[in-house]
Amino acid sequence: MRAIQIKEYVKGPEDLRVVSLPDPTPAPDQYLIAIHASATNFFDLLQIRGKYQHQPPLPWISGSEFSGVVIQTPSQPPHRAPPKYQVGDRVFGASQGAYAEKVMAREEVLRPVPKGWGFFEAAGLFVTAPTSYAALVLRAKAKRGEYVLIHAAAGGVGLAAVQIAKALGCTVIATAGTAHKLSVARSFGADHAINYTDPSWPDQVKKLTPKGRGVDVVYDPVGMITPSMKCIAWNGRLLVIGFAAGAIEKVAMNRVLLKNVSIVGLHWGMYKDMEPDTVEEVWKGLFELMESGRFRGTVFTDREFVGLESVAEALRTLGGRESWGKVVVKVPQDAKGSRL
């Protein structure tokens, strides 16, 4: 098969090369998947430089998120149960080695491609969609009639959050840094859109809420908790999703007390170990939204990336903040019946 193998850490995606390797040999509890699309993530950029907290031993194949077709099932499935997926089934998931034509994956990191979805749309679902659902539904307990402020609303988790908040019956105020990204957020359902490069954005947010009271929920994957305190309502909930801006915030706790607010973290990656039943609950809720048409794919469509040779450019686009949603690379396969 062809793949992007890391034999030594690189300076950036421009140093990535596609090579020919033997097909992977799955462990007894693993599936073998023929990849039809691979999604890019910021942690891929860190991992190829050796700067991510989870670094496989060299050499390894880069990439983690994918969609494709099952071409081999486990010889020893978990719990001695029959394999959930059969040869020919369309799946998406996450497993090390997704910048390749084939990948090995265990059953717990696979999900069926939603009805009516293609590989292209499904490839970027596994990380962003459950993160936003768990944050808004389980952690913030957002409910109908509330006002939700979503930062970086045109990003992968941001566009997922916009759709989920709207499905819950909330009024969504989106922020982003360019007019184009604000337009994208509106196209996915945001009721209002504000450019957060304008220093007056907290005042603009408050003016959009009843009697200027502020928003009930703040969804923050950037690192904007401190300025968001200026426009949070009494009893509001601030969701800490990530630190895309780079700096780890230090929050003045007296403001938390005075405004009677809650700061709530989410570490979605740990749920599989700490609350495995909750993982199933989250995916059940998401599939209900997808199958009812209330959640659609968030794939970046301003440019097309086809073939493993285009992974480097896709990662450059992601890292340069030139994109919105999920940047996905189509991986052509010889197998018939591929629907990208």
**For the segment 277-329, what is each residue's pLDDT rounded down to a tens digit?**
999 999 999 999 999 999 999 999 999 999 999 999 999 999 988 899 999 99
Q: How far is CA 307 from CA 41, 58, 91, in A?
A: 17, 24, 19
Q: How far is CA 31 from CA 60, 102, 303, in A?
A: 18, 10, 32
Owner of token pair 């910048």: 99
Average pLDDT of the residues of the chain = 94
Which residues, other chains included, contact 100 with Cβ-Cβ below 8 Å and sequence gap of 6+? 1, 2, 3, 4, 21, 35, 38, 61, 63, 308
What's the average model confidence in pLDDT over 191-196? 97
What's the average model confidence in pLDDT over 158-186? 98
pLDDT at 76 over 90: no
Pairing mode of beta strands 90-94, 110-112: antiparallel
User: Of all residues in the chain, what percent carry a pLDDT higher than 90?
Assistant: 89
Q: Which residues pair with 330 in a beta bridge?
A: 37, 306
Measure CA of the first residue to CA of the last residue in the chain; give whole Å: 20
Residue 152 pLDDT level (bands cut at 50, 70, 90): very high
Distance, in Å, from the CA atom of 217 to the CA atom of 236, rounded to the nearest integer, reads: 6
The reported pTM is 0.92
pLDDT at 62 over 50: yes
What's the average model confidence in pLDDT over 231-245? 93
